[in-house]
Each structure stands twice: as structure tokens, then as C-alpha cells.
Amino acid sequence: MSTLDKKIEAYVDELGARAKAAAQGLLTATTEQKNDALRKSAANLRAATKELIAANEKDVAYAKEAGKPDSFIDRLMLNEERIEGMAKALEDIAELPDPVGRQLAQFDRPNGLRIERVAVPLGVIGMIYESRPNVGSDASALCLKSGNAVILRGGSDSQHSTKVIVECLAKGLKEAGLPEHAVQTIGIPDRQAVTALLRCTKYVDLVIPRGGRGLVELVRDQAAVPTLLHLDGNCHIYVHESADLNKAKDVIRNAKLRRLGVCGATESLVLDKAIAGDILPKLLDNMPECEFRGDAAAQAIDPRVIAASEEDFDTEFLDAILSVKVVEGIDEGIAHVKAHSSAHTDSIRAEDEAAAHRFQQEVDSAIVMHNASTQFADGGEFGMGAEIGIATGKMHARGPVGLEQLTSFKYLVHGSGQTRP
């Protein structure tokens, strides 16, 4: 490494050492202390609303100067309502059961040994994310409640907002008598800092990336520490021939347009040929602000549909754009979803329960829905409080990553002098 690289590595190692010590301190923290820290942090966020909005305005201004799209600006922007939402999320997490110390199983052996499997914190979590400042707040709260220390690396686009958020949380920890270094942020924009975090095996137990495919693939390819991957959300809705088309029309509008910049937004629409001619023109009428990019069959139904490229069916647009594929029945519908889904969230609209059951069995995504908007793919909507991300892999955690998913377990063995023959 160059001299600069060594300085960055030393800087990240210092953060890691502080986090490791803080994680050790959290092992003896009571539920009441953790909840107190969360509530005090929420109060600090509210008290810092003006300061946080001013910091965020700097981030938004830089993003606009850089020509970022409106959907990016929407994810980045904070206002009083969103800051209140962040504070409320901390308070909601304080109300959730403490996942640490839960007895997961107990075994009584013939030799008299009593063995417990109990939930324990993971330790130090590195959280790498892009533009949404609230991700840092939500992730920190979930890590704290589950007894973990966290090192945040938000995108450079949100660095001013992240700094204020972390100050509010660290202050809340200190006020509750807990180690303030349980929440830290990497305060330098150099990308080498991300590499250093990904290789910090001495102190970091898990890295979670939350962002676009480029970020997640970078983490996957460069990490030496374990990772929990959150791939992009190329979410599908398949409209089966048995669907209630009036309900489907409203659900699809919500799933696509409620929030364009969230990973649970529907990006691809799959229409059964039997109902495509009926529903597609109604969707175009109901969603005039959305661009529909379809295959030849969709274009033949309505001239407002423009030609889709093959790439479009694999794209998380995060914009008012929807790909459309017309299929011959459920076999082809499931095959298309399986070929193009990012394994995040996929949904079927169907009144035929057997068809819905088959779709939910055969589509191997983290979340598979029936007759619901894909924008329900959210830890809060699942009753988990805020989420740290949606895990699209299959190891350790899958789907919304909440408190329970941020713990591991260990075995406690209780004996009375047994020796092994």
C-alpha cells in the first residue's frame, strides 16, 4: 500500500478498535439502557432538526450540481416530516422485544448436561450505503438494540447529513451511560476507506451493503469479512388471468409510483395474454406519468407502449419507467420472473388460490407476495421496526433484516462435574 493507503487503513483500524471495545461494553448493557439510549437519540434528532436540514441542503445542492436524477434527490432529501419519521423509528425500535439473551433451544442430555442455545450480538457491523441518510439512523438503532456496534460508511452524497445524525446518536448513547463509539462513521470520502473496512477482519464481524448493484458487487468481490448482501430490487408483478383487474390496476399504480426510489418498487409487469388487452390500456390511462416499455405483444395492444430492450427486463429503474412482458399462461409467467428477478420481492395478482400457491412456491425470492403491493417489502410493514436492509441471499438472514437477524447464537453448557468416558 502507498503511504496514503496506510494512513486510511490505520484510520479505519482505529475506528474498528473503538467499535470492538464498544461492542464489548454493550454485552452487559440492560434492555432499559439500550431503550433509553434510543429514546434520547430520538430527542436529539428532533432538537437538531434545523441543523440537520441545513446539512442536508448542502448534500442536496451538491447532488443537483452533479446532475443526479430526481429519484436520487428524493432518496437523499430530508425535511421535518422525514426527520420526525427517523426519530419515531428509533422510538418504535425501543418498544420492540430485546433479541439478545433469548433462549432458542434447550437440550437435556442423558448424562445430566443441560445445554442452552441463546441469542447473542454479532459484534461489530460495517454498514455501507448510498444516498438515503435515514438508513444510517435506522441501521444504528437496530444494531444498538441488538447489542452490536456499527461503523457507518454512507455515500459521499450524504456526508453532511450523516455527520449530524451520528452526533445525535452518539450523544444519546453517552447520555444513557453506554459507549458512544458504538455508533461511528467513516468521516473521509476516499473510496479506499471502503476497501479498508471490507478487509478489517481484526475488528469487523459483518459488512452489510445497501445500495445499487454496483455497490453490492463491489462489496461481494472485495470483502474479506463476512457479508450480508442486499441486491437491487428488480421486483415483478405477474397478473394472472384470474386477477381482479380493478384491484390490480390500483395495486400496480401503488407498487410502481408510491415511492420510485425504494427497492420494493415494482420495475417489471408480467401480464397473462388472456387479460393483457383489457388491463394494459387501463394501466396506461391510470399511470400517465409512467413510461411503459414492452415487448412486441404489449406494443401491439397499445401504441403508447414503447419498445423494450432485453436490458430493460433486468433493470431496477428507480424511476417512472415500467417494463412489460406479455406471457402465455402461468408457466411462461413464472419462467420470466425467475429469469429476470433479482430475488428481492415478486408478487402475483390472482383470485385463483392454486395459481397463487404455485407462484409462491416456485418463485425463489426473499419475499413472494399474493395480491399485495411490492412496496410492502419493508421491515416496518413486517412489524420489525426499521430494517437494515432486505437480504437477497440465503445464508444467515433473508428478506427484511431486523433485530433477530442481527444476532447469532452460542451454546451454554451446564454440568455438575461430568467427565467424558
Tell me the C-alpha distance between 274 and 255, whole Å.
22
Residue 304's domain comprises: 235-376
Tell me the C-alpha distance between 100 and 146, whole Å.
6
**What per-residue confidence (pLDDT) applies to 184?**
98
Same-domain pairing of 205 and 270? no
Same-domain pairing of 122 and 182? yes
Which pLDDT tens digit goes with each residue over 352-364?
A: 999 999 999 999 9
Q: Examine residue 396 and state whether it is found in any structural domain, yes or no.
A: no
Mean local confidence (pLDDT), 48-72: 93
Q: Examine residue 385 and state whether it is found in any structural domain, yes or no.
A: no
Which pLDDT tens digit goes with each residue over 230-263?
A: 778 999 999 999 999 999 999 999 999 999 988 8
Q: Examine residue 153 and state whether it is found in any structural domain, yes or no.
A: yes
Q: Examine residue 315 and state whether it is found in any structural domain, yes or no.
A: yes
Which pLDDT tens digit goes with each residue over 295-316?
A: 999 999 999 999 999 999 999 9
The model's confidence at residue 338, banded by pLDDT at 50, 70 and 90, is very high
Mean local confidence (pLDDT), 153-174: 95
Mean local confidence (pLDDT), 267-286: 98
All three cell numbers of 379: 421491515
Average pLDDT for the chain: 94
Q: Examine residue 31 and state whether it is found in any structural domain, yes or no.
A: yes
**What per-residue confidence (pLDDT) applies to 4?**
53
Same-domain pairing of 120 and 167? yes
Q: The CATH number of the domain where 91 resides is what?
A: 3.40.605.10
All three cell numbers of 380: 416496518
Same-domain pairing of 304 and 203? no
Q: The CATH number of the domain where 311 resides is what?
A: 3.40.309.10
Q: What is the largest CA-CA distance in the chain?
A: 81
Same-domain pairing of 176 and 217? yes
Which pLDDT tens digit goes with each residue over 126-161?
A: 999 887 899 899 999 999 999 999 999 998 889 999
CA distances from 43 to 39, 301, 333 (A): 6, 55, 49
Q: Examine residue 386 and state whether it is found in any structural domain, yes or no.
A: no
What is the distance in angstroms between the CA of the first residue and the CA of the last residue of the chain?
A: 53
Answer yes or no: are the C-beta atoms of 49 and 90 closer than 8 Å: no
The model's confidence at residue 189, banded by pLDDT at 50, 70 and 90, is confident
Q: Is the pLDDT of residue 113 over 60?
A: yes
Which pLDDT tens digit goes with each residue over 365-393?
A: 999 999 999 999 998 898 876 678 888 88
Top-confidence residue, 19 or 69? 19
What total number of domains does the chain contain? 2
Q: What is the DSSP letter of 263?
A: T
**What per-residue confidence (pLDDT) applies to 262?**
86
The model's confidence at residue 83, banded by pLDDT at 50, 70 and 90, is very high
Same-domain pairing of 168 and 59? yes
Same-domain pairing of 177 and 222? yes
Tell me the C-alpha distance between 298 and 320, whole Å.
18
Answer yes or no: are the C-beta atoms of 345 and 366 closer than 8 Å: yes
Same-domain pairing of 285 and 217? no
Q: Examine residue 287 and state whether it is found in any structural domain, yes or no.
A: yes
Same-domain pairing of 69 and 193? yes
Same-domain pairing of 223 and 275? no
Q: Examine residue 383 and state whether it is found in any structural domain, yes or no.
A: no
Same-domain pairing of 146 and 182? yes
Answer yes or no: are the C-beta atoms of 151 and 186 closer than 8 Å: yes
All three cell numbers of 171: 450523544
Beta-bridge partner residues of 239: 271, 349
Top-confidence residue, 56 or 1? 56
Q: What is the DSSP letter of 312?
A: G
- Percent of the chain surpassing pLDDT 90: 82
Counting every residue written for the chain, the total comes to 421
Strands (E), 122-265: 124-129, 149-153, 183-185, 206-210, 235-239
Please give the single-letter amino acid code of residue 362: E
Same-domain pairing of 50 and 150? yes
The model's confidence at residue 67, banded by pLDDT at 50, 70 and 90, is very high
Closest alpha carbon to 309 in 320, 295, 321 = 295
